[in-house]
Amino acid sequence: MILVTGGAGFIGSNLVNELLKNKLPITVCDFNTKIDKSYFKDISNILRFVEPIDLRNFIFENKISVIFHLGAISSTTFPDANQIWYNNIFTSKEIWDLCCKNKIRLIYASSAATYGNGDKGYIDNQNLTYLKSLKPLNIYAWSKNEVDKRNLFAKNIQNISPPQWISLKFFNVYGPNESHKENMISIVLKTFQQIKKNETTLLFKSYNDQYEDGEQKRDFIYVKDCIKVLMWFLEKDNISGIFNVGTGQARTFNDLVYNVYKNLKKNINLKYIDMPKEIKNQYQYHTKADLRKLIKTGYDKNFYTLEKGIEDYINNYLNKKNYEIS
């Protein structure tokens, strides 16, 4: 059996659909109140839904081969540090320990936000000294780096680890099944919604002299590519480590917005607005995944370009689902 925590979430639900397509036995751990049945192509084939409070007992009482741990508080502006510590760090540590004890393979989500302002590059180095030198810019990013550090300490210093462990540093993900994320939805979906409501698209001004307004850059990755990487590591049970999951290309927010308007055949209506004071010091102006380590594992699948990813998302999903325009 495969267990997916956060299986009703953005990346989680896309992964569950892919696992079901491959006729694999799946159990989803998530809050019942968060389950949107429209996210799943064949919800009847999911073996069971488990509430997070019951997760520990479920792992002990069932034979599980792999855990995809994708559940977390993912908001970069979430105010409660104690809740983030419990959900993102304590729970992740508990899952790591259970996987060690029960010899369960573990593939879990980290984040490119751990790299902070990028002054040390975006290299998926799993040296403990390197991880300690990173300076995440918000509590969410800090929590993800703490999990990586603690797991690496357990492996390298205590010699304790699951039979396989994979930490995936996802960059800026967009795609189907993200509408529940509210203010954390991708700029692709946000722009789509604004266009459909005949509203002006809003982007943050730049407060860095190296970047003009809208020219801030991100490594935007389509969720379908994230799922390909997750499935790759499911097949490669002899590989462990920390890996970047991006396209290796940095594109501007202006590029992104332009492509949304282009696919909807609309004239651009764009305004640059002041950045909220509380995130000015937490803002990444440039991200770009170093993929050499992932490629070295033998991964050779092509990534969607920003143009092709947005085209697929809009034409095959957003234009067909009214719930995305809320």
Q: Residue 72 burial (CB < 10 Å; 0-12/13-18/19+)?
A: buried
Would you say residue 141 lies in a domain?
Answer: yes
- No. of H helices and E strands in the chain? 11, 13
Q: What distance in Å separates the CA atoms of residue 314 and residue 69, rounded to the nearest whole number?
A: 28
Segment 208-221 mean pLDDT: 96
Mean per-residue pLDDT of the chain? 94
Would you say residue 95 lies in a domain?
Answer: yes
- Domain at 277, CATH number: 3.90.25.10
Whether residue 322 has pLDDT greater than 90: no
Give the percent of the chain with pLDDT over 90.
87
Segment 49-78 mean pLDDT: 93
140 is catalytic: yes
pLDDT recorded at residue 121: 92
Count how many domains the chain has. 2
Same-domain status, 136 and 254? no
Would you say residue 18 lies in a domain?
Answer: yes
Domain carrying residue 207 = 175-218+250-286+305-325
Segment 140-146 mean pLDDT: 96
Same-domain status, 67 and 99? yes
Which tokens hold the place of 167? 């930490």
Would you say residue 296 lies in a domain?
Answer: no
Segment 234-243 mean pLDDT: 97
Q: Under 8 Å CB-to-CB from 55, ≥6 apart: which residues?
A: 5, 29, 91, 95
Same-domain status, 225 and 211? no
Residue of 108, 115, 140, 304 marked active site = 140
pLDDT recorded at residue 323: 43
C-beta separation of 12 from 35 below 8 A: no
Would you say residue 295 lies in a domain?
Answer: no
Would you say residue 291 lies in a domain?
Answer: no
Q: What is the pLDDT of residues 30-48, one digit of tens each?
A: 998 778 888 998 888 898 9
Same-domain status, 158 and 235? yes
Whether residue 324 has pLDDT greater than 70: no
Residue of 93, 181, 205, 228 marked active site = 181
C-beta separation of 74 from 140 below 8 A: yes
pTM of the model: 0.95
- Give 326's pLDDT tier (boundaries 50, 70, 90): very low
Residues pairing with 111 in the sheet: 170
Same-domain status, 259 and 210? yes
- Domain at 66, CATH number: 3.40.50.720
Same-domain status, 197 and 320? yes
Would you say residue 104 lies in a domain?
Answer: yes
Same-domain status, 149 and 15? yes
Same-domain status, 131 and 25? yes
Same-domain status, 212 and 138? no
Q: What is the pLDDT of residues 276-317, one digit of tens each?
A: 988 888 889 999 999 999 999 999 999 999 999 999 999 999
Same-domain status, 142 and 156? yes
Same-domain status, 228 and 165? yes
Would you say residue 300 lies in a domain?
Answer: no
Q: What is the pLDDT of residues 117-136, one digit of tens each?
A: 999 999 999 999 999 999 99
pLDDT recorded at residue 166: 98
Same-domain status, 32 and 81? yes
pLDDT recorded at residue 35: 84
Q: What distance in Å separates the CA atoms of residue 107 and residue 125, rounded to the nearest whole number?
A: 17
- Give 321's pLDDT tier (boundaries 50, 70, 90): low
Place of tokens 């002006």: 200
CA 206-208-212 angle, 5° bins: 50
